[in-house]
A and B are shown apart, each in its own frame.
Chain A
Amino acid sequence: MQPVNQILRKIPVWGVYLLGALPAPWLLYLAVTGGLGVEPIKALEHELGELALQLLILGLAVTPLRRHLGLNLMKFRRAIGVLTFVYISLHLLTWLVLDVQLPSQIWADIVKRPYITVGMAAFLLMLPLAVTSNNWSVRRLGPSWRKLHRLVYPAAILGALHYVMLAKGFQIEPLIYLVIILGLLVLRLPIPSLLVRWRQVDSA
């Protein structure tokens, strides 16, 4: 992994921001020019939501990749997180402004429709994380910054659940997202060290 990590070290963080931001104007361009089909509103909403989930998965993969494969993406984790929030916000904005349109309907949907309630909860959990994604907050909050940012775990589960709940019929794709996210969270549990301890107890 060392040579890969060396190459990664040379990539500037702003490059990741730039690369990650590109799909947004591209999708908007496609939506306006018919590239997203004859119903661009739902298509745009879906594409943005799916991108957010993919970025969320990438962000959750940083720690296990380093711990289990020695691949170091730590330097880019904040950029991945901030981009995740940007796409979740664009997804929400598309829903509010282009899809539902009616303010009275928006609140009714949030309260009445469980999949929207769940999605909204995921967004609200991400909000303090986005606000504190800067050096000043990291310094200021100290050890509680880490604790605060564990909110991404429930947010990720809710985000995946949101996708599962809105599917019609029995669909595989949303379940794959949920399984990957749950898998990445399970990898964080101190299972390997538990096993080591059990083995030690056995041999004792």
Chain B
Amino acid sequence: GVGLTAMSRPAAAQDALEPNTWEEITSYNNYYEFGTGKEDPARYAGSLITEPWSVKIDGMVDRPGDYDFQDILSEMTVEERIYRFRCVEAWSMVIPWNGFELADLLSMAGVQEGAKYVAFETAYRPEEMPGVRFPILEWPYREGLRLDEAMNPLTIMATGIYDRPIPNQNGAPLRLVVPWKYGFKSIKSIVRITLTEDEPPTSWNMSNPREYGFYSNVNPNVDHPRWSQGSERLIGGGLFSKREPTLMYNGYEKEVSSLYEGMDLAKNY
């Protein structure tokens, strides 16, 4: 009953995007649970055990519980979404995700009236994650969305890339993808989803609220305190690759700008 309808294929312009290679997408990652170097996740994330996997869905839902990943998959319609991916560090990629809409997963659990936010948590497994020995961030990694952001048809739970299961370094077995926000919002290897009434704490915001806001929408007009967000470098251009202008909401302005109408984006960064 929670299958997707053909109607919801929002990113019509996605066919114009040229995806990065598998090699690029899977060798250059930020996943601090496996180290802070860009190559660390590809090197060390193999130790993460992703089978079996279950996701606890709790908080303000009608059907809370531990959902087995395979059971979730069998209920969802997986489709391809080619999205721009813009890291807060001012680099970007184009990634052909496979996934399902978060809205479908949430309606499977039954969102209760009064829920306003969705909180997410990454797995925390010191035996499998060498990076969590260091207090780079407060573990486990946490992220959150406003409910309307979570229900937007652009927001997906990705389970694959290039029609292959998502590799561990990219957040296996399932991760969030919110293409109009900086990459760190798209939390990896999710083990818990909680519907709440209040804005949930999020890892980078907890670590440095001046630099990382709750919203973290891609915005070329609001700089990171330590670097400009006006331009970005598309991965794959080599040593002499040119910077490109960053697009408002990472190019998804038409689809999402109504979510933030009337908000001061310099304050709600």
**CB of A112, distance to nearest CB on chain B (Å):** 8
Residues of B contacting A168 with CB < 8 Å? Answer: 36, 89
* CB within 8 Å for A109 and B227 given contacts A38-B28, A40-B239, A44-B239: yes
Residue among A44, A100, A108, A170 facing the most chain B CB atoms (10 A cut-off): A170
B113 at the interface (CB under 8 A from A): no
Q: Among B36, B39, B89, B243, which residue has its beta carbon within 8 angstroms of that of A169?
A: B36
Any A CB within 8 A of the CB of B52: no
Contacts of B225 in A (CB 8 A): 113
Residues of A within 8 A of B38 (CB): 37, 39, 43
Partner of B226 from the list A31, A40, A43, A113 (CB cut-off 8 Å) is: A113
CA distance A113 to B224 in the complex (A): 10
* A170: chain B residues within 8 A (beta carbon): 134-137, 207
B238 at the interface (CB under 8 A from A): yes
When chains A and B are docked, how far (Å) is the Cα of A112 from the Cα of B227? Answer: 9
CB distance from A95 to the nearest CB of B (A): 12
CA distance A166 to B89 in the complex (A): 11
Q: Establish whether residues A41 and B23, one from each chain, have CB atoms under 8 Å apart when the complex forms.
A: no
User: A115–B226 contact, CB under 8 A?
Assistant: yes
Asked whether B238 lies within 8 Å of A40 as measured between CB atoms, the reply is yes
Q: Cβ of A102: which chain B residues have Cβ within 8 Å of it?
A: 231, 243
Q: Once the chains bind, are B23 and A38 in contact (CB under 8 Å)? A: yes
Q: Which of B208, B233, B243 meets A39, CB within 8 Å?
A: B233
Q: Mark A132-165, 1 if CB is under 8 A from B, else 0.
A: 0000000000000000000000000000000001
> How many residues of A sit at the interface, in one of the four size bands?
20 to 34
Is B39 a contact of A37 with CB atoms below 8 Å?
A: yes
Closest to B224 in A: A113
> Is A101 engaged at the interface, CB distance under 8 Å to the other chain?
yes
Chain B residues whose CB sits within 8 angstroms of the CB of A167 once the complex forms: 36
Closest-by-CB residue of A relative to B36 is: A171
Cβ of A32 under 8 Å from chain B: yes
Whether A22 is near chain B, meaning CB under 8 Å from some CB there, is: no
A105 sits at the interface (CB 8 A) = yes
| Minimum Cβ distance to chain A for residue B59 (Å) | 27
Contact of A101 among B24, B230, B243 (CB under 8 A): B243
Chain B residues with CB below 8 A from A172, complex form: 134
Contact B228 A108 (CB under 8 A): yes
A93 within 8 A of B: no
Interface size on B, as a range, is 20 to 34
Interface residues of A in 83-120 (CB under 8 A from B): 98, 100-102, 105, 108-109, 112-115
Q: What B residues does A115 contact at CB under 8 A?
A: 226
* B239 and A169 contact, CB distance less than 8 A: no
Given contacts A31-B239, A39-B233, contact A169 B32 (CB under 8 A): yes
B27 touches A37 (CB 8 A): yes
Q: Which residues of B contact A40 (CB under 8 A)?
A: 238-239
Cβ distance B135 to chain A, nearest Cβ, rounded Å: 5
Mark out the residues of chain A between 36 and 64 whose CB falls within 8 Å of any chain B CB in the assembled complex: 37-44
CA distance A13 to B109 in the complex (A): 72
Most chain B beta carbons < 10 A, residue from A98, A115, A169:
A169
Does B36 lie within 8 Å of A38, measured CB to CB? Answer: no
Q: What B residues does A31 contact at CB under 8 A?
A: 239
- Taken together as a complex, chains A and B put the C-alpha atoms of A42 and B239 apart, in Å, by 9
Distance in angstroms between the alpha carbons of A109 and B228 in the assembled complex: 8
Q: Identify which of residues 211-259 in chain B touch chain A, using a CB-to-CB cut-off of 8 Å.
A: 223, 225-228, 230-231, 233, 235-236, 238-243
A115 CA to B211 CA, complexed, in Å: 14
Contact with A along B68-109 (1 / 0, CB 8 A): 000000000000000000000101000000000000000000
Residues of A within 8 A of B239 (CB): 31-32, 40-41, 44, 98
Chain A contacts for B89, CB-based, 8 A: 168
Given contacts A37-B27, A38-B24, A39-B28, contact A166 B226 (CB under 8 A): yes
A101, B231: Cα distance in complex, Å = 11
Identify the 3 closest CB pairs spanning chains A and B, nearest first. Answer: A169-B136, A38-B24, A40-B239
- Known contacts A105-B231, A169-B136; 11 further A-B pairs (Cβ under 8 A): A37-B28, A37-B39, A38-B23, A38-B235, A39-B235, A40-B239, A41-B241, A98-B240, A167-B36, A169-B137, A171-B136
12 A–B contact pairs at CB < 8 A? Answer: A38-B24, A38-B28, A39-B38, A43-B38, A98-B240, A101-B243, A105-B228, A108-B228, A109-B228, A115-B226, A170-B136, A171-B136
